């Protein structure tokens, strides 16, 4: 982060006793290290927008923003974090994150096929909803066997462009250790994964072939040696080594992942903080919600140095749909059997990355081709700007919305409507200067108020403050 | 000016090959040498400036297009057993293509395209990348490669992106592969047969130039009142406004074409898309794809074709003649085809009742212009069209030839920022290019 030396993780207000002691320890540590570097905590309106977008992939409604901004309770931020962590939107959004990592895609190059992708997504969604401990989550994926339709987790073995041990090793190394370089060490453990078809169209059974390894003596990526006894699935031997509190690389990988989801991929977690987060993870028995909570309550996360970046494609689409009250519908044209997508399905809830739209392509949703962060493209392009500044879609959304607002404009005094618009788009009240600018727009005599209203909404929608997380 | 650009590009291409892919380059030359070919594979002909790719989405039947089989009987050719003699002696095409039959001298036919894959998505990938799926690398499609090599990397300075898709995205695979999202196509949306053609971001109704400028002013005032900064948005917005307030969108204004020309192309999605493609070529866009839907005819095959064939027969023939008349056919390469063909034997059983399935073993593709000869047929299928009889053509042979026509050495390293060391197009068979069509 920019500016002053790093403030190592200053959890602000965390309810449990054990964390309070810890906070105190960290505080002491911080003061010792950082001296009197001035804290740059973001304001409440920035915080509510940031934490809604990062945890739930939604914008707060005007009412939610208004309520939070009126709250003067000392614990208001921590209370909000807890509320969001328990919301269904948190589950939907983080399920999307994990689906990116685990490559939930019906078609090329992953080829799970629609029913497999749906089962895989349901499994992931349920794991996030029940806050399945991360160690259990990984063990269940690694040890999964059975039908791709009945046990969603087995699709982990199918979500690869080539189903061989090398590819599986590469994928597992990248998914659970965050690096591919160690994959050669993992290959033997995946050499006994079998696949067979059934009479059911596109069903596939994943199983352990029971064939002993050519060489039962194995070496783990950290150099330790082990054996795979006859009658034991090599994947179980690997899981025992991998999923262990002592395996720092395993812990660090998921800590970095969650950190980057909240604080941006370009903003890597500092080493001491990473150590702290790993400790939190292990001590909480791999409670991922605890990790989210810990980061969201930290001084680093709430700092003004939080990196400005564009809102993700799916989240932006949902935010626009919600504000303008339009229904974005998705269809799955290929391949058969066609996926049923309920009309009310929000974009972040799309299970399958093959189901897409011009908007999602333009704004760089994850292709889920490799599971790497680079599958998602958050760059800002001219075509995105063209769409937002000058498309038929955006203009028609704006017209309908302005129509509704203009009625209120006549009934209430102007400030109320302007406040509402600002709270809706930017989760804050307008400044006096902004109020002035807006009112001046309405005083142009030759222009009908309806047109002015449209132009104001158009402009707010295109502001950097709206398009970015900040 | 154009020549200079091309030379610059070529020297860059050779330099890239020399610097980064010396080893690979040597190996491939050895391969070409072993095949005993008289034509070197490392060709950079460079006649073509633009490509119009007509993607017959779903897979068109060879028997009802460029490889009729009247002798195979009704089980194969169904009710269509009277192919048309074209204006090139010896070449017959389907009875449903009377316009194209009159201008067979302008295009050539490959009757023995083969990859053997019958899945849409895999076959699409193979046809557009020249690679078999797998191996952990997702390759870019031809359009994305051209967008980079002939577009962004070659100093392309037009306002419309170098890779344009009319009018919807395929979404079957990430077209830009490992090259990255920058090289994805610009997708127009809307429908060119409607007036106006509301190209997404370029053409809107009801916002005057004055209002657009007023909006911009207001946006900048509001942005200035906020502390959130992002220079990428500033830069992209600047470029977008140049387009919005400039003349570029006129390229999509088909109403400026004479009524007769619009009518000759056909007043439907396909015809007007062909006309738009021609205008984009004139504007200087190097790669244009028409994603033409509706060829996955598992059921009601002949009924569908009876309805749909006339529109593309008329539109494509007009496009060829129009480009030829304007002197643009020499520099504009047209590639017509889908991911595969369709089963030569009509599926009369339930639930198809007269449809055709997917068929990647032997199917037809049409090429025209851009340096390719017209009036030729490559390869021969057997009596029923189910097998290649002579001269099999792999997708990478055709794509490598297209690259060569564009001045891209298929053997050179595919330029990319990720340091992946692969040739533009791997050799597949024989000399790896369509010798028969190269002038």
For an interface test with B, which of A105, A106, A107 has the most B Cβ atoms less than 10 Å from its Cβ?
A: A107
Q: Where are the beta strands (DSSP E) in A220-364?
A: 225-227, 309-310
The single-letter DSSP state of residue B80 is: -
Is the CB of residue A104 less than 8 Å from the CB of residue A112?
Answer: yes
As a whole number of angstroms, the distance between CA A194 and CA A198 comes to 13
CB-CB neighbors (< 8 A) of B239 in chain A? 382, 385
Question: Do B313 and B177 have their domain in common?
Answer: yes
As a whole number of angstroms, the distance between CA A466 and CA A208 comes to 51
pLDDT of residue A282: 97
The verdict on a CB contact (< 8 Å) between A459 and B240 is no
The verdict on a CB contact (< 8 Å) between B225 and A161 is no
Q: Does any domain span residue B355?
A: no
Of A107, A308, A370, the CB nearest to B229: A308
pLDDT of residue A412: 63
The answer to whether B195 contacts chain A (CB < 8 Å) is no
pLDDT of residue A1: 36
Question: Do B209 and B136 have their domain in common?
Answer: no
pLDDT of residue B42: 55
pLDDT of residue B91: 98
Question: Do B235 and B278 have their domain in common?
Answer: no
The answer to whether A109 contacts chain B (CB < 8 Å) is yes
Nearest of A71, A38, A24, A77 to residue A297 by alpha carbon: A77
Shortest Cα distance from A118 to chain B (angstroms)? 18
Give CA angle at A275 (A271, A277), nearest 5°: 115
Task: Using the structure block, give the residue that is written with the tokens 């984009």.
Answer: B280
A96-106 per-residue burial string, b: 16 or more CB within 10 A, e: under 16: bbbbbbbbbbb
Question: Do B212 and B312 have their domain in common?
Answer: no
pLDDT of residue B176: 86
Domain boundaries defined on chain A = 17-86+268-306, 133-242, 386-469
The verdict on a CB contact (< 8 Å) between A161 and B135 is yes
Question: Total structural domains in chain B?
Answer: 2
Give mean pLDDT in consecutive 10-residue pieces for chain A, a chain of 470 residues: 38 44 44 47 97 98 98 97 98 98 91 92 98 98 97 97 92 92 92 95 94 95 94 97 96 95 83 92 98 96 94 98 94 72 92 90 90 89 93 94 84 81 97 93 89 96 97
Of B168, B198, B201, the CB nearest to A386: B201
Q: Does any domain span residue B350?
A: no
CB atoms near residue B35 (< 10 Å): 13
Question: Do B103 and B215 have their domain in common?
Answer: no
Shortest Cα distance from B136 to chain A (angstroms)? 6
CB atoms near residue A254 (< 10 Å): 24
Beta-bridged to residue B85, according to DSSP, are B92
pLDDT of residue B49: 96
For an interface test with B, which of A180, A390, A433, A455 has the most B Cβ atoms less than 10 Å from its Cβ?
A: A390
For an interface test with A, which of B164, B194, B237 has the most A Cβ atoms less than 10 Å from its Cβ?
A: B237
Of A107, A161, A391, the CB nearest to B172: A107
Q: Does any domain span residue B169?
A: yes
pTM of the model: 0.83
The verdict on a CB contact (< 8 Å) between B226 and A463 is yes
Say how many CB pairs under 8 Å bridge A and B.
Answer: 164
Question: Do B33 and B148 have their domain in common?
Answer: yes
The token duo for A319 is 């935010």
CB-CB neighbors (< 8 A) of B209 in chain A? none
Is the CB of residue A30 less than 8 Å from the CB of residue A7?
Answer: yes
Q: Does any domain span residue B348?
A: no
Q: Is B439 exposed, middle or buried (0-12, 13-18, 19+ CB in 10 A)?
A: exposed
The verdict on a CB contact (< 8 Å) between A369 and B121 is no
The verdict on a CB contact (< 8 Å) between A382 and B243 is yes
Give φ, ψ of B438 to 5 degrees.
Answer: -95, 120
The answer to whether B156 contacts chain A (CB < 8 Å) is no
Of B172, B219, B239, the CB nearest to A108: B172
CB-CB neighbors (< 8 A) of B295 in chain A? none
Question: Do B233 and B114 have their domain in common?
Answer: no
Nearest of B166, B167, B165 to residue B176 by alpha carbon: B165
Q: Does any domain span residue B196?
A: yes
Q: Does any domain span residue B181?
A: yes
Domain termination site, one of B236, B252, B268:
B252
Chain B: residue nearest A375 by CA?
Answer: B180
The answer to whether B139 contacts chain A (CB < 8 Å) is no
The verdict on a CB contact (< 8 Å) between B207 and A390 is yes
User: What residues 78-137 of chain B have any CB closer than 8 A to a CB of chain A?
Assistant: 119-122, 124-125, 133-136
CB-CB neighbors (< 8 A) of A381 in chain B? 181-182, 236
User: What residues 161-200 of chain A have any CB closer than 8 A to a CB of chain B?
Assistant: 161-162, 167, 170
Question: Do B214 and B321 have their domain in common?
Answer: no
Q: Is B195 exposed, middle or buried (0-12, 13-18, 19+ CB in 10 A)?
A: exposed
Chain A: residue nearest B228 by CA?
Answer: A465
pLDDT of residue B172: 58
The answer to whether A441 contacts chain B (CB < 8 Å) is yes
The verdict on a CB contact (< 8 Å) between B244 and A108 is no
User: What residues 242-281 of chain B have any CB closer than 8 A to a CB of chain A?
Assistant: 243-244
Q: Does any domain span residue B296?
A: yes
The token duo for A338 is 């066609």
Which residue range forms the structural domain that includes residue B147? 2-200+259-329+368-437
Chain A: residue nearest B120 by CA?
Answer: A335
Domain termination site, one of B252, B268, B291:
B252
Q: What is the pLDDT along chain B (439 residues), one digit of tens a residue?
A: 333 333 333 333 333 333 333 333 322 333 333 333 334 455 668 899 999 999 999 999 999 999 999 999 999 999 999 999 999 999 999 999 999 999 999 999 999 999 999 988 889 999 999 998 877 788 999 999 999 999 999 999 998 999 999 998 876 556 888 888 788 898 898 999 998 999 989 988 889 989 999 999 999 999 999 999 999 999 999 999 998 888 999 999 999 999 999 999 999 999 999 999 999 999 999 999 999 999 999 999 999 999 999 999 999 999 999 999 999 999 999 999 999 999 999 999 888 889 999 999 999 999 999 999 999 999 999 999 999 999 999 999 999 999 999 999 888 899 998 888 999 998 776 557 888 898 6
Of B184, B236, B243, the CB nearest to A361: B184
For an interface test with B, which of A43, A103, A333, A381 has the most B Cβ atoms less than 10 Å from its Cβ?
A: A381
pLDDT of residue B43: 63
Give φ, ψ of B381 to 5 degrees.
Answer: -95, 165
pLDDT of residue A455: 96
Of A356, A385, A460, the CB nearest to B222: A460
As a whole number of angstroms, the distance between CA A59 and CA A419 comes to 16
Give CA angle at A412 (A407, A416), nearest 5°: 105
The answer to whether A21 contacts chain B (CB < 8 Å) is no
Q: Does any domain span residue B347?
A: no
Question: Do B49 and B83 have their domain in common?
Answer: yes
Question: Do B273 and B195 have their domain in common?
Answer: yes
The answer to whether A28 contacts chain B (CB < 8 Å) is no
pLDDT digits (tens, 9 = 90+) for A76-134: 999 999 999 999 999 999 999 999 999 999 988 888 988 999 999 999 999 999 999 99
Of B120, B138, B218, the CB nearest to A335: B120
């Amino acid at each position: 982060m920019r500016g002053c030396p790093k403030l190592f993780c200053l959890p602000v207000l965390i309810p449990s006793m054990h964390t309070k002691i810890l906070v105190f320890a960290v505080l002491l540590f911080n003061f010792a290290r950082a001296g009197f570097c001035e804290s740059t905590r973001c304001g409440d309106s920035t915080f509510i927008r940031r934490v809604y977008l990062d945890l739930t992939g939604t914008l707060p409604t005007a009412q939610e923003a208004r309520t939070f901004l009126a709250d003067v309770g000392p614990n208001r931020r921590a209370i909000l974090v807890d509320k969001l962590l328990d919301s269904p939107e948190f589950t939907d959004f983080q399920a999307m994150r994990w689906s990116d990592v685990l490559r939930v895609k019906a078609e090329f190059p992953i080829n799970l096929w629609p029913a497999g992708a749906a089962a895989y997504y349901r499994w992931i969604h349920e794991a996030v909803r029940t806050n399945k401990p991360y160690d259990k989550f990984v063990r269940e994926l690694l040890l999964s066997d059975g039908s791709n339709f009945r046990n969603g987790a087995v699709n982990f073995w199918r979500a690869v462009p080539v189903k061989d041990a090398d590819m599986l090793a590469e994928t597992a190394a990248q998914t659970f250790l965050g690096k591919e370089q160690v994959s050669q060490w993992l290959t033997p453990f995946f050499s006994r994964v079998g696949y067979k078809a059934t009479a059911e169209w596109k069903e596939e059974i994943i199983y352990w072939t029971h064939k002993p390894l050519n060489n039962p003596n194995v070496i783990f990526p950290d150099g330790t040696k082990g054996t795979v006894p006859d009658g034991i699935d090599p994947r179980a031997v690997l899981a025992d080594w991998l999923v262990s509190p002592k395996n720092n690389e395993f812990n660090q990988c998921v800590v970095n992942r969650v950190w980057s989801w909240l604080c941006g991929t370009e903003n890597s977690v500092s080493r001491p903080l990473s150590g702290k987060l790993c400790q939190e993870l292990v001590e909480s028995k791999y409670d991922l919600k605890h990790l989210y909570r810990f980061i969201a309550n930290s001084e680093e996360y709430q700092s003004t140095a939080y990196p400005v970046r564009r809102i993700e494609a799916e989240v932006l689409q949902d935010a626009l749909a919600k504000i303008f009250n339009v229904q974005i519908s998705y269809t799955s044209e290929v391949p058969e059997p066609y996926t049923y997508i309920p009309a009310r399905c929000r974009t972040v809830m799309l299970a399958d990355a093959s189901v897409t739209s011009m908007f999602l392509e333009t704004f760089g949703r994850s292709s889920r081709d490799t599971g790497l962060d680079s599958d998602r493209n958050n760059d800002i392009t001219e075509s995105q700007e063209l769409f937002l500044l000058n498309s038929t879609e955006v203009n028609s959304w704006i017209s309908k919305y302005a129509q509704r607002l203009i009625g209120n404009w006549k009934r209430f005094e102007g400030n109320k409507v302007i406040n509402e618009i600002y709270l809706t788009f930017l989760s804050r009240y307008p400044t006096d200067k902004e109020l002035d600018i807006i009112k001046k727009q309405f005083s142009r005599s030759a222009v009908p108020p309806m047109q002015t209203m449209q132009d104001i909404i158009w402009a707010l929608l295109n502001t950097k403050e709206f398009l970015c997380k900040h | 000016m154009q020549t200079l650009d091309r030379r610059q590009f070529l020297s860059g291409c050779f330099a890239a090959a020399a610097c980064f892919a010396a080893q690979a380059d040597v190996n491939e030359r050895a391969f070409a040498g072993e095949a005993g070919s008289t034509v070197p594979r490392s060709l950079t002909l460079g006649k073509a400036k633009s490509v119009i790719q007509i993607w017959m989405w779903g897979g068109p039947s060879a028997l009802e297009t460029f490889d009729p089989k009247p002798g195979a009987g009704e089980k194969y050719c169904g009710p269509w057993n009277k192919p048309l003699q074209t204006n090139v002696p010896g070449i017959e095409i389907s009875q449903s293509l009377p316009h194209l039959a009159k201008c067979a001298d302008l295009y050539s036919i490959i009757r023995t395209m083969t990859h053997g894959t019958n899945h849409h998505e895999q076959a699409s990938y193979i046809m557009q990348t020249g690679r078999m799926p797998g191996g952990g690398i997702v390759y870019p499609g031809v359009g994305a490669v051209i967008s980079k090599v002939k577009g962004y990397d070659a100093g392309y300075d037009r306002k419309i992106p170098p890779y344009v898709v009319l009018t919807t995205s395929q979404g079957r695979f990430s077209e830009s592969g490992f090259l990255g999202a920058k090289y994805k196509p610009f997708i127009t949306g809307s429908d060119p047969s409607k007036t106006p053609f509301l190209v997404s971001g370029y053409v809107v109704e009801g916002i005057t130039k004055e209002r657009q400028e007023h909006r911009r002013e207001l946006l900048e005032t509001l942005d200035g009142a906020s502390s959130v900064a992002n220079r990428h948005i500033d830069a992209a917005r600047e470029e977008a406004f140049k387009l919005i307030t400039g003349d570029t969108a006129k390229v999509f204004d088909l109403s400026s074409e004479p009524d007769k020309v619009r009518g000759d192309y056909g007043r439907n999605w396909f015809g007007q898309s062909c006309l738009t493609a021609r205008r984009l070529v004139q504007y200087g866009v190097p790669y244009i794809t028409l994603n033409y839907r509706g060829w996955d005819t598992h059921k009601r095959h002949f009924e569908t074709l009876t309805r749909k064939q006339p529109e593309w027969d008329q539109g494509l023939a007009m496009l060829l003649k129009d480009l030829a008349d304007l002197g643009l056919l020499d520099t504009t390469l047209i590639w017509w085809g889908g991911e595969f063909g369709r089963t030569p034997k009509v599926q009369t059983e339930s639930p198809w009742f007269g449809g055709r399935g997917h068929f990647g073993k032997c199917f037809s593709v049409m090429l025209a212009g851009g340096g390719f000869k017209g009036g030729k047929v490559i390869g021969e299928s057997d009596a029923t069209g189910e097998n290649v009889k002579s001269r099999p053509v792999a997708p990478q042979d055709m794509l490598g030839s297209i690259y060569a026509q564009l001045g891209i050495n298929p053997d050179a390293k595919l330029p990319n920022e990720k340091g992946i060391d692969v040739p533009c197009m791997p050799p597949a068979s024989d000399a790896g290019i369509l010798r028969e069509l190269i002038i």
